[in-house]
Amino acid sequence: MSGDSGAPSRDAGLGPALLFCPADRPDRYDKALAAADAVILDLEDATAPERRPAAREALAASDLDPARVVVRVNEAGTEDHELDLAALSGTAYRTIMVPKADARLEVPAGYEVIALCESAAGVVAAPELARRVSALMWGAEDLVASLGGTSSRWPSTDGRSGVYRDVARTARANVLLAAGAAGIPAIDTVHLDIADLDGLRDEALDAAASGFAATACIHPSHVPVIREAYAPAPEQVAWARRVLDAAAAHGGVFRFEGGMVDGPVLRHAEAVLRRAGY
Protein backbone atom coordinates (compact mmCIF):
# COMPACT_ATOMS: atom_id res chain seq x y z
CA MET A 1 0.00 0.00 0.00
CA SER A 2 2.98 2.29 0.28
CA GLY A 3 3.97 4.90 -2.31
CA ASP A 4 6.66 7.42 -3.15
CA SER A 5 6.53 10.96 -1.83
CA GLY A 6 5.09 13.33 -4.39
CA ALA A 7 3.25 10.56 -6.24
CA PRO A 8 0.24 9.72 -4.09
CA SER A 9 -1.47 6.41 -4.65
CA ARG A 10 -5.26 6.44 -4.70
CA ASP A 11 -5.38 2.66 -4.47
CA ALA A 12 -5.31 1.37 -0.89
CA GLY A 13 -5.25 -2.16 -2.26
CA LEU A 14 -8.35 -2.77 -0.16
CA GLY A 15 -11.21 -0.49 -1.12
CA PRO A 16 -13.21 1.39 -1.76
CA ALA A 17 -15.59 -0.04 0.89
CA LEU A 18 -14.02 -1.34 4.11
CA LEU A 19 -16.50 -2.95 6.51
CA PHE A 20 -15.89 -3.20 10.25
CA CYS A 21 -16.80 -6.52 11.88
CA PRO A 22 -16.55 -7.31 15.61
CA ALA A 23 -13.70 -9.77 16.08
CA ASP A 24 -15.73 -11.64 18.70
CA ARG A 25 -18.36 -12.54 16.09
CA PRO A 26 -16.65 -15.18 13.90
CA ASP A 27 -20.10 -16.11 12.58
CA ARG A 28 -20.06 -12.78 10.73
CA TYR A 29 -16.54 -12.96 9.28
CA ASP A 30 -17.40 -14.61 5.97
CA LYS A 31 -20.56 -12.56 5.47
CA ALA A 32 -18.72 -9.31 6.08
CA LEU A 33 -15.92 -10.21 3.70
CA ALA A 34 -18.41 -11.29 1.04
CA ALA A 35 -20.28 -8.00 1.36
CA ALA A 36 -17.34 -5.60 1.21
CA ASP A 37 -14.06 -5.08 -0.60
CA ALA A 38 -12.19 -5.73 2.64
CA VAL A 39 -13.13 -6.45 6.23
CA ILE A 40 -11.73 -4.79 9.36
CA LEU A 41 -11.87 -7.35 12.17
CA ASP A 42 -12.13 -5.18 15.25
CA LEU A 43 -10.46 -6.19 18.50
CA GLU A 44 -10.82 -2.68 19.93
CA ASP A 45 -14.05 -0.69 20.23
CA ALA A 46 -16.37 -3.35 18.80
CA THR A 47 -15.17 -6.05 21.21
CA ALA A 48 -15.76 -5.74 24.94
CA PRO A 49 -12.60 -6.22 27.02
CA GLU A 50 -13.87 -9.42 28.62
CA ARG A 51 -14.54 -10.92 25.19
CA ARG A 52 -11.14 -10.15 23.68
CA PRO A 53 -9.48 -13.46 24.66
CA ALA A 54 -12.20 -15.39 22.82
CA ALA A 55 -12.00 -12.95 19.91
CA ARG A 56 -8.26 -13.57 19.57
CA GLU A 57 -8.88 -17.32 19.52
CA ALA A 58 -11.52 -16.87 16.83
CA LEU A 59 -9.12 -14.76 14.76
CA ALA A 60 -6.37 -17.32 15.09
CA ALA A 61 -8.71 -20.09 13.97
CA SER A 62 -10.12 -18.17 10.98
CA ASP A 63 -9.03 -18.70 7.38
CA LEU A 64 -9.97 -15.57 5.44
CA ASP A 65 -8.09 -14.12 2.48
CA PRO A 66 -5.32 -12.15 4.23
CA ALA A 67 -5.08 -9.72 1.32
CA ARG A 68 -8.60 -8.53 2.15
CA VAL A 69 -8.36 -8.46 5.94
CA VAL A 70 -7.34 -5.67 8.29
CA VAL A 71 -7.23 -6.32 12.02
CA ARG A 72 -7.84 -3.33 14.26
CA VAL A 73 -5.72 -4.06 17.30
CA ASN A 74 -5.86 -2.19 20.59
CA GLU A 75 -3.96 0.99 21.35
CA ALA A 76 -0.17 0.72 21.32
CA GLY A 77 1.39 0.61 24.76
CA THR A 78 -1.42 -1.43 26.30
CA GLU A 79 -1.39 -5.06 27.41
CA ASP A 80 -4.23 -5.77 24.98
CA HIS A 81 -2.08 -4.48 22.11
CA GLU A 82 0.69 -6.94 22.93
CA LEU A 83 -1.80 -9.79 23.32
CA ASP A 84 -3.36 -8.89 19.96
CA LEU A 85 -0.01 -9.02 18.18
CA ALA A 86 0.85 -12.32 19.86
CA ALA A 87 -2.42 -13.79 18.60
CA LEU A 88 -1.79 -12.50 15.08
CA SER A 89 1.76 -13.84 14.94
CA GLY A 90 0.48 -17.32 14.15
CA THR A 91 -1.85 -16.16 11.38
CA ALA A 92 -1.40 -14.91 7.81
CA TYR A 93 -2.96 -11.54 8.66
CA ARG A 94 -0.33 -8.86 8.25
CA THR A 95 -2.29 -5.62 7.89
CA ILE A 96 -3.24 -3.98 11.16
CA MET A 97 -5.00 -0.76 12.07
CA VAL A 98 -3.61 0.94 15.16
CA PRO A 99 -6.12 3.22 16.91
CA LYS A 100 -5.27 6.47 18.65
CA ALA A 101 -1.93 6.59 16.82
CA ASP A 102 0.41 9.48 17.53
CA ALA A 103 4.11 10.32 17.19
CA ARG A 104 5.06 7.62 19.69
CA LEU A 105 3.84 4.82 17.42
CA GLU A 106 6.40 2.13 16.69
CA VAL A 107 5.59 0.04 13.63
CA PRO A 108 5.89 -3.67 14.49
CA ALA A 109 8.18 -5.60 12.17
CA GLY A 110 6.46 -7.64 9.51
CA TYR A 111 3.18 -5.69 9.47
CA GLU A 112 1.54 -3.18 7.16
CA VAL A 113 0.10 -0.51 9.47
CA ILE A 114 -2.88 1.77 8.96
CA ALA A 115 -2.49 4.57 11.50
CA LEU A 116 -5.84 5.79 12.82
CA CYS A 117 -5.47 9.49 13.65
CA GLU A 118 -8.34 10.09 16.05
CA SER A 119 -6.89 12.42 18.67
CA ALA A 120 -5.46 15.91 18.60
CA ALA A 121 -1.99 14.42 19.03
CA GLY A 122 -2.61 11.95 16.22
CA VAL A 123 -3.82 14.54 13.72
CA VAL A 124 -0.89 16.85 14.50
CA ALA A 125 1.48 13.90 14.05
CA ALA A 126 -0.10 12.76 10.78
CA PRO A 127 2.79 13.99 8.56
CA GLU A 128 5.32 12.13 10.71
CA LEU A 129 3.18 9.00 10.89
CA ALA A 130 2.70 9.02 7.13
CA ARG A 131 6.42 8.53 6.65
CA ARG A 132 6.35 5.31 8.70
CA VAL A 133 3.06 3.59 7.90
CA SER A 134 1.23 2.25 4.85
CA ALA A 135 -1.99 4.27 5.10
CA LEU A 136 -3.74 6.86 7.26
CA MET A 137 -7.32 6.98 8.48
CA TRP A 138 -9.01 9.59 10.64
CA GLY A 139 -11.77 9.37 13.25
CA ALA A 140 -14.17 12.11 14.30
CA GLU A 141 -15.72 11.04 17.59
CA ASP A 142 -12.53 10.14 19.47
CA LEU A 143 -10.93 13.28 18.10
CA VAL A 144 -13.61 15.53 19.55
CA ALA A 145 -13.51 13.61 22.82
CA SER A 146 -9.74 14.17 23.01
CA LEU A 147 -10.42 17.91 22.82
CA GLY A 148 -13.04 17.82 25.57
CA GLY A 149 -15.85 18.35 23.08
CA THR A 150 -19.21 16.64 22.87
CA SER A 151 -20.17 16.47 19.19
CA SER A 152 -18.34 16.25 15.88
CA ARG A 153 -21.32 17.49 13.85
CA TRP A 154 -23.71 20.40 13.75
CA PRO A 155 -27.31 19.55 14.65
CA SER A 156 -29.61 18.72 11.77
CA THR A 157 -33.35 19.27 11.54
CA ASP A 158 -34.08 17.33 8.36
CA GLY A 159 -33.54 13.80 9.68
CA ARG A 160 -30.04 13.55 8.22
CA SER A 161 -26.70 13.67 9.94
CA GLY A 162 -25.46 17.23 10.37
CA VAL A 163 -22.30 18.35 8.62
CA TYR A 164 -18.99 18.06 10.45
CA ARG A 165 -17.89 20.94 12.61
CA ASP A 166 -14.84 22.87 11.48
CA VAL A 167 -12.43 21.03 13.76
CA ALA A 168 -13.44 17.67 12.30
CA ARG A 169 -13.24 18.98 8.74
CA THR A 170 -9.79 20.39 9.45
CA ALA A 171 -8.60 17.08 10.86
CA ARG A 172 -10.00 15.21 7.85
CA ALA A 173 -8.21 17.53 5.44
CA ASN A 174 -4.94 17.39 7.38
CA VAL A 175 -4.88 13.60 7.38
CA LEU A 176 -5.63 13.51 3.65
CA LEU A 177 -2.89 16.05 2.94
CA ALA A 178 -0.36 14.18 5.08
CA ALA A 179 -1.11 10.92 3.29
CA GLY A 180 -0.93 12.58 -0.12
CA ALA A 181 2.40 14.25 0.66
CA ALA A 182 3.86 10.86 1.64
CA GLY A 183 2.36 9.03 -1.32
CA ILE A 184 0.21 6.68 0.74
CA PRO A 185 -3.57 6.10 0.73
CA ALA A 186 -5.99 7.92 3.03
CA ILE A 187 -9.15 6.25 4.32
CA ASP A 188 -12.23 8.28 5.23
CA THR A 189 -14.00 7.59 8.49
CA VAL A 190 -17.29 5.82 9.11
CA HIS A 191 -20.73 7.41 8.87
CA LEU A 192 -22.33 6.47 12.19
CA ASP A 193 -25.96 7.11 11.23
CA ILE A 194 -26.81 3.74 9.70
CA ALA A 195 -30.14 4.87 8.19
CA ASP A 196 -28.75 8.07 6.65
CA LEU A 197 -27.75 6.72 3.26
CA ASP A 198 -28.12 10.12 1.60
CA GLY A 199 -25.67 11.68 4.03
CA LEU A 200 -23.29 8.78 3.56
CA ARG A 201 -23.52 9.17 -0.23
CA ASP A 202 -22.69 12.89 -0.03
CA GLU A 203 -19.66 12.23 2.16
CA ALA A 204 -18.41 9.33 0.05
CA LEU A 205 -18.76 11.37 -3.15
CA ASP A 206 -16.76 14.15 -1.52
CA ALA A 207 -14.16 11.66 -0.27
CA ALA A 208 -13.64 10.19 -3.73
CA ALA A 209 -13.47 13.59 -5.41
CA SER A 210 -11.04 14.90 -2.79
CA GLY A 211 -8.59 12.03 -3.10
CA PHE A 212 -9.43 9.47 -0.42
CA ALA A 213 -8.72 5.91 -1.51
CA ALA A 214 -11.48 4.26 0.51
CA THR A 215 -14.22 4.80 3.07
CA ALA A 216 -14.77 2.63 6.13
CA CYS A 217 -18.26 1.65 7.21
CA ILE A 218 -20.10 -0.15 10.00
CA HIS A 219 -23.05 -1.73 8.20
CA PRO A 220 -23.37 -3.86 5.03
CA SER A 221 -26.03 -1.50 3.65
CA HIS A 222 -23.34 1.17 3.36
CA VAL A 223 -21.13 -0.85 1.02
CA PRO A 224 -23.06 -0.38 -2.26
CA VAL A 225 -23.50 3.33 -1.54
CA ILE A 226 -19.76 3.77 -1.08
CA ARG A 227 -18.91 1.71 -4.14
CA GLU A 228 -21.28 3.75 -6.30
CA ALA A 229 -19.82 7.00 -4.97
CA TYR A 230 -16.25 5.98 -5.79
CA ALA A 231 -17.10 4.65 -9.26
CA PRO A 232 -16.83 7.41 -11.88
CA ALA A 233 -19.89 8.00 -14.02
CA PRO A 234 -19.65 6.69 -17.61
CA GLU A 235 -19.56 10.23 -18.94
CA GLN A 236 -16.58 11.01 -16.68
CA VAL A 237 -14.73 7.98 -17.99
CA ALA A 238 -15.52 8.90 -21.60
CA TRP A 239 -14.29 12.48 -21.01
CA ALA A 240 -11.08 11.23 -19.38
CA ARG A 241 -10.32 9.00 -22.35
CA ARG A 242 -11.03 11.77 -24.84
CA VAL A 243 -8.89 14.37 -23.10
CA LEU A 244 -5.96 11.99 -22.62
CA ASP A 245 -6.16 10.97 -26.27
CA ALA A 246 -6.19 14.64 -27.26
CA ALA A 247 -3.20 15.34 -25.03
CA ALA A 248 -1.10 12.90 -27.04
CA ALA A 249 -1.18 15.36 -29.93
CA HIS A 250 -0.22 18.41 -27.84
CA GLY A 251 2.98 19.28 -26.06
CA GLY A 252 1.57 21.63 -23.43
CA VAL A 253 -1.54 23.59 -22.56
CA PHE A 254 -4.33 23.21 -25.10
CA ARG A 255 -7.99 24.00 -25.62
CA PHE A 256 -10.38 21.05 -25.40
CA GLU A 257 -14.17 21.00 -25.59
CA GLY A 258 -14.43 24.64 -24.56
CA GLY A 259 -11.96 24.52 -21.68
CA MET A 260 -8.25 24.79 -21.01
CA VAL A 261 -6.30 21.59 -20.35
CA ASP A 262 -2.99 21.57 -18.52
CA GLY A 263 -1.05 19.13 -16.35
CA PRO A 264 -3.41 19.09 -13.35
CA VAL A 265 -6.44 18.47 -15.57
CA LEU A 266 -4.65 15.51 -17.16
CA ARG A 267 -3.85 14.10 -13.71
CA HIS A 268 -7.54 14.45 -12.83
CA ALA A 269 -8.38 12.43 -15.94
CA GLU A 270 -5.83 9.77 -15.02
CA ALA A 271 -7.38 9.54 -11.53
CA VAL A 272 -10.83 9.01 -13.04
CA LEU A 273 -9.53 6.08 -15.10
CA ARG A 274 -7.77 4.58 -12.09
CA ARG A 275 -10.98 4.71 -10.09
CA ALA A 276 -12.75 3.05 -13.01
CA GLY A 277 -10.23 0.24 -12.97
CA TYR A 278 -8.29 1.17 -16.11
Assign 3-class secondary structure to 239-271.
HHHHHHHHHCCCCCCEEECCEEECHHHHHHHHH
CA distances from 220 to 26, 96, 168, 169, 175 (A): 16, 21, 25, 25, 26
Q: What is the pLDDT of residue 2?
A: 43
Whether the bond into 185 is cis, omega within 30 of 0: no
Q: What is the pLDDT of residue 86?
A: 97
Report the Cα–Cα distance between both ends of the chain, in Å, rounded: 18
Q: What share of the chain is helix, strand, coil (3-state, %, to 5)?
A: 45, 15, 40
Classify domain 17-231 at the CATH superfamily level.
Answer: Phosphoenolpyruvate-binding domains (3.20.20.60)
Sequence ranges of the domains in the chain: 17-231, 235-275
* Per-residue pLDDT in tens (0 to 9) along the chain, 278 residues: 544 333 334 455 688 999 999 999 999 999 999 999 999 999 999 999 999 999 999 999 999 999 999 999 999 999 999 999 999 999 999 999 999 999 999 999 999 999 999 999 999 999 999 999 999 999 999 999 999 999 999 998 787 889 999 999 999 999 999 999 999 999 999 999 999 999 999 999 999 999 999 999 999 999 999 999 999 888 888 888 988 989 888 878 998 988 888 888 898 888 888 887 77
Q: What is the pLDDT of residue 8?
A: 39
Q: Which candidate, 77, 69, 187, 65, places its Cα nearest to that of 126?
A: 187
The dihedral built from the CA positions of residue 85, 90, 94 and 96, taken in this order, carries a sign that is negative
Q: Which candidate, 196, 190, 234, 237, places its Cα nearest to that of 215?
A: 190
Q: What is the pLDDT of residue 3?
A: 41
Q: What is the pLDDT of residue 17?
A: 98
Is the distance from CB of 137 to CB of 189 less than 8 angstroms? yes
User: How wide is the angle at C-alpha 264 spanned by C-alphas 137 and 213, nearest 5°?
Assistant: 20
Q: What is the pLDDT of residue 4?
A: 39
187 forms bridges with which residues in the sheet? Answer: 137, 214
Q: What is the pLDDT of residue 234?
A: 84
